[in-house]
Structure 1
Amino acid sequence: MLKSLFGKKEKKTEETLYSPLTGEVLKLEDVPDPVFSQKLMGEGFAVEPSDGSVVSPINGQVIQVFHTKHAIGLRSETGVEILIHIGLETVSLDGDGFEVHVKEGQKVKVGDLLISAHLSLISEKAESIITPIVMTNSDVIEEVSEMITGSATKGTTKVCTVRVKR
């Protein structure tokens, strides 16, 4: 009985990733950028957004906000690190078209607003609005369930389940 009260808490090893954007979920292999399509940064998926609100796909913490506001790094409760890279070749916009709503170290829940992106401006000035979502620390990942593709709603559509190594 005392062990059950004071023993180690069982560490969470599985979680769901939700779409951080409303739009069309694509396979990472279909992203027109070899860094993402060849999975050089890790496993993941992409969204061609129809709305510029980027929300948290997991419960966790903001670990990096890029100074150019085009990307954000999160760490989930299970330790999976996720990069959301809004658009392709958007670093050159130097923050133009992006408004960040969170700061590094802040805890977030699924659906919390992270960044607002001005999609028409970005599509005019950058290569593409397609947004890769990549799990960058694949060494902690044991398995990723098959990812869905097709229409998704930010913060509510489940894209995949990730199981981490114990």
Structure 2
Amino acid sequence: MGLFSKKKIETTLTAPIDGQLIPLEKVQDSVFSQKMMGDGFAVEPSDDKIVSPVSGTVESIFPTKHALMIQSKHGLEIMLHLGIDTVELNGEPFEIVVKKGDQIEQGAAIGKMDIDAIKAKQKLPTVIVIVSNMDQVKNISEVTPGQVSVGADVQTIQSK
């Protein structure tokens, strides 16, 4: 290791909700499955409680409460997207307990989503975690599909 070599910076993303972990390519929305927004993973939820997949600062919460951005301490921009096409529900099935500017720890409560209400509106409740600034990513691990518990380690990102 040279005198000026950079220390390897790794961030581990955890499951934001209980459910079935799926690779991003399997999400039933081409914007996400084709990784147009960035890389990450998704969970088909079996519970309604949502926690932060990373420690950081809440940078923004969409007015429709279906998505929020968290900046990790190492500068990764993490989007937490609740459901597919749920922007059309105008925030009704979501209860968000954090606000812009909050410093949150990995695993801290973010809110709840009413899965039954989302399904009743013919929408999918898939929870998607995306690293949106992939230009800062050197390597991102694959995910192993299967049952996942909230807070379980899911994906490791190595920053540039």
Q: Tell me the TM-score range normalised by the shorter chain.
A: over 0.9
- TM-score (structure 2 length as normaliser): 0.93
Q: Do structure 1's residue 22 and structure 2's residue 28 form an aligned pair?
A: no
Give distance in 1, aligned partners of 2:57 and 2:7. 17
In structure 1, what is the equivalent of residue 30 of structure 2?
34
Please tell me whether residue 45 in structure 1 is matched to residue 30 in structure 2: no
Find the counterpart in structure 2 of residue 6 from structure 1.
none
Secondary structure at 1:41's aligned position in 2?
coil
Q: Which amino acid aligns with 2:157?
A: V
Q: For the residues of structure 2 that align with 1:136 and 1:108, how far apart are their CA atoms?
A: 19
Deviant stretches of 4+, over 2 Å: none
> Does residue 109 of structure 1 match 2:105?
yes
3-state SS in 1 of match to 2:123: coil
Q: TM-score, normalised by structure 1?
A: 0.89
Give 1 or 2: higher strand fraction: 2
Report the equivalent of 2:3: none
1:161 is aligned to 2:144: no
Instruction: Report how many residues are paired.
Output: 155
Contact 1:12 1:77 in 2 (8 A): no
CA contact (8 A) 1:14 1:164 kept: yes
Going from structure 1 to structure 2, the CA distance change for 1:71 and 1:15 (only over 3 Å counts) comes to same
Contact 1:49 1:131 in 2 (8 A): yes
Change (3 A) 1:122 1:146: same
Structure number with bigger Rg = 1
Contact 2:22 2:143 (8 Å CA) reproduced: no
Q: Tell me the CA shift for residue 125 of structure 1.
A: 1.0
Where do 5+ consecutive residues of structure 2 fail to align?
1-5
Q: What whole-Å deviation, never above 9, does each CA across 1:121-140 have from its counterpart, x for those lacking one?
A: 01111421112111100000
87 and 126 in structure 1: CA distance in 2 versus 1, 3 angstrom threshold: farther
Q: 1:95 aligns with which of 78, 91, 94?
A: 91
Query: Structure 1 vs Structure 2: percent identity of aligned residues?
Result: 41
> What runs of 5+ residues in structure 1 fail to find an aligned partner?
1-9
Q: What's the counterpart of residue 57 of structure 1?
A: 53
**Partner Cα distance (2:101, 2:89) in 1:** 25
